Chains A and B, each alone.
Chain A
Amino acid sequence: MTNLNETIHQPVRLRIMAALVTLETGDEVDFGYLRGLLEVTDGNLGAHLRKLEEAGYISVNKVFVERKPRTFVAATAAGRKVFQEHVAALESILKRK
């Protein structure tokens, strides 16, 4: 049995998780930076981040930096674990090809 995860497998969410797990544990990335990195729109990224946050795979931290609101995003420990399992499941499917 494989541990594919439908929440993560959606293409944009898969790329979001791939970017976030590349960071060191505890590091969080700015919303605008992530949007530019993934080449998606504000609305699209925001919607997918909400899904991932609801699933507990990411944490969204809204703070004020120099009186301006900023949003930082990080993968949670659960998100990292689920992502690794998803990647392992994808690899196992390829091996069975």
Chain B
Amino acid sequence: MRYRILYSTEFSMGTQNMDITPNDAEEALAAIQTVMQKTRHSIASSGTYITLIVTGIVWLIGFTCTQFLPEISHYVWIGLSIFGSILGTVWGFRLGKRVRSPATAATARRVGLYWLFLVFFCMAVIAVAWPLDGKQVTVLIVLFALIGHLAMGLLLSFAAVWWPLPITALVLISYFLLPGLFYLWMGVLGGGGMIALGVYIRFRW
């Protein structure tokens, strides 16, 4: 025979009685867990999927162009960099409005400085290692960018840590094993993979 265990409770907002069975408590705790997990995922994934989709589009167009139209690829990359920066900033700003944090401004300044220093370090490494060919410069820039994303993930959101690792593996595989198809591989698999991952995180995660 099923029975109910009742707990009488008192409240800070006046004395009231409340009947709670262990099953009710279990359901309430499960609901709390679900919402907390959903909230964490939602906040963590919002920045991640934007970064992935924007970077993926830039890579897909830029590297594919470098493979097949190397003579105009410099202009394409300049245009894509501007497009990616503006789109990422605007999109990120729109999402940033969802959650307001008193620490946001300070964090944003630190993140901005971090990326600035990373660019200087990347340029320094390229200068020290010069002369380099186009592929070597590309790999170094991409590896520095991926280190940056990895650090951002570690510092700001653990949910966003993992994605630079498989992309780094793709970059290294293409550089060492497929030098003839390097740019195409980076564009289609690297860029396309990031777009697919971003869409997956946005709609399924």
A residues touching B (Cβ–Cβ < 8 Å)? 1-7, 9, 11, 14-15, 18-19, 21-24, 26-30, 32-33, 37-38, 55, 65, 70, 72, 82, 87, 89-91, 93-94, 96-97
Contacts and interface: CB of A to CB of B under 8 A. Distances in A.
B contact patch SS = mixed
B103 interface: yes
A37 B39 contact: yes
B42 A37 contact: yes
**How big is the B interface, by class?**
20 to 34
Nearest to A26: B102
Interface of B: 5, 7, 9-13, 16, 18, 20, 22, 25-26, 28-29, 31-32, 35-36, 38-40, 42-43, 97-103
Contacts of B16: 6
Contact of A94 (B12, B26, B35): B26
A30 B99 contact: yes
Nearest to B27: A11
Contacts of B43: 23
Contact of A65 (B12, B31, B97): B97
B29 A29 contact: no
A1 B103 contact: no
Given A30-B98, A93-B25, A4 B103 contact: no
Contacts of A14: 28, 31-32
Contact of A18 (B32, B42, B100, B101): B32
A14 B30 CA distance: 11
Contacts of A23: 39, 43, 99
17 contacts: A4-B7, A4-B11, A4-B18, A18-B36, A19-B39, A22-B40, A27-B99, A27-B102, A28-B101, A30-B100, A32-B98, A37-B39, A82-B12, A90-B29, A93-B7, A94-B26, A96-B22
